[in-house]
Amino acid sequence: MLGDALRLGLVAHVVEADARDPLAFLEQCGSRFDVTVSCVKCAGAEQAAVLATRPEGTICFFGMSTSFTSAAPTAEGVGRQVNMLIGNGYRPGHADLALSLVRGIPGLMDLLTASIRDPSA
């Protein structure tokens, strides 16, 4: 599914790695990102998100296991000013935007349908 997201131009870069190992994760990234979206389902990935984000960059935390008592001290400890956002899943107009994207991006509906049929894809 990640390869399909790249192919469709939905994302610029995807890193598939164990985010609980921040140094290995950073090495696999190759460079720091302007925007990092962390949607992991495990604790302990906050450090990787901070390290992978450039100074003054933005981290969007969408995983419910995110620990801000870990994320904030990590940023301070490595001397990195980053903007941290909490995603709660709601944004006014999000449903209309989602439908517009599905209708307007060729191949996106097929990608989503395939992921529903086979969640491991």
Q: Report helix, strand or coil for 48.
A: helix
Better pLDDT: 41 or 120 = 41
What is the SS3 assignment for 36-71? EEECCCCCCCHHHHHHHEEEEEEEEECCCCCCHHHH
Domain boundaries, the chain: 2-89, 91-121
Condensed to tens digits (0 to 9), the pLDDT of residues 40-92 reads 888 888 999 999 999 999 999 987 888 888 899 999 999 999 999 988 777 78
Better pLDDT: 1 or 50 = 50
User: Position 118: which residue type?
Assistant: D
Condensed to tens digits (0 to 9), the pLDDT of residues 10-44 reads 888 777 788 888 888 888 888 899 999 888 888 88
Element (H, E) at 67: none
Choose among 107, 93, 53, 106: nearest CA to 75. Answer: 53
Q: Quote the pLDDT of residue 28.
A: 87
- 120 token code pair: 């491991």
